[in-house]
Amino acid sequence: MTMWKAKRFWKEATVAEVEGGWTVQLDGRPVKTPAKTLLVVPTRELAEAVAAEWDAQEGEIDPNQMPYTRAANSALDKVTVQFDEVADMLAAYGGSDLLCYRADSPEGLCARQASGWDPILDWLHSTHGVRLNKIAGVMPVAQDEAGQVTLRERVGKLSAFEMAGFHDLVTISGSFALALAVIENRLQPEEAWELSRIDENWQIEQWGADEEATELAEYKKAAFLLAADLYAKAYVA
């Protein structure tokens, strides 16, 4: 049995200001999420990005080519209804942050980690008063409980749409600190991505690149940069 696939039925996708933000309309009819929630986003810029994805569809609708739409759906149908759970999960990354786990050798890798990651941990301390402890190896390192509370409070200040972008920044990089540095403009997204890849890039320099791993890294990088752009488009000053 062939699965039915939705096809383009509209001529034009437009944006309209509504109560609570902006929505996307297809020939004047509002778009809804899979959970049948009216798709309302916080900024015109994000609404225009969603509308552009709908306008770009030809023939069968391909959700894989609609990342902003998927993110908006996720913010409304998932993050909004379980906001505290998502915030708790993201804050927990601060207790096992990538930047806290260092190599004990070789010297070159240790130096590269220190020069790249220590300034971000120092920034986190000076800006938010949170000092994350470091350790050589992979054994868990205990973190200050008060600091973890501070990180949770910071996440709790995000909107559902901002959190959708922040979620991917954290989970893709493995670092709460790098993600926070991006959304607070301490790092550009490209810089943060490269810092998250110090270990992998070191290995590539020593042993060469693997085609499959390179392809996966490019996919993750694109998703990371998209998450940063989503956050920027969703941010309301």
How much is the pLDDT for 4? 43
Q: What is the pTM of this model?
A: 0.93
| Burial of 92 (C-beta count, 10 Å sphere; 0-12/13-18/19+) | middle
Q: Checking phi first, is residue 83 left (phi over 0); if not, alpha (psi -120 to 50) or beta? A: alpha
Q: What is the pLDDT of residues 29-58, one digit of tens each?
A: 999 999 999 999 999 999 999 999 999 998
Question: Kind and range of the H or E element at 122?
Answer: helix 107-128
Q: Which residues contact 59 (CB under 8 A, 6 or more apart)?
A: 7, 8
* pLDDT given at position 5: 62
pLDDT of 135 reads 95
Q: Which domains does the chain have, with CATH numbers?
A: 13-65 (3.30.2180.10), 81-234 (1.10.3580.10)
Q: What amino acid occupies position 117?
A: W
Q: How far is C-alpha 237 from the chain's CA centre? A: 19
- Eight-state DSSP code of residue 38: B
Give CA separation, 67 vs 96, 208, 234, in Å.
28, 32, 14
Helix/strand number for the chain, H first, E second: 10, 6
Q: Rounded to whole angstroms, how far apart are CA atoms 231 and 79?
A: 14
C-alpha to C-alpha distance for 183 and 167, rounded to whole angstroms:
11
Q: How crowded is residue 168: how many other Cβ atoms within 10 Å of its Cβ? A: 22
Looking at residue 53, its amino acid is E
Write out residues in the chain with pLDDT < 70, as ranges.
1-5
Give the bridge partners for 26, in sequence order: 13, 29
Burial 194-205 (b: 16+ CB within 10 A, else e): ebbbbeeebeee
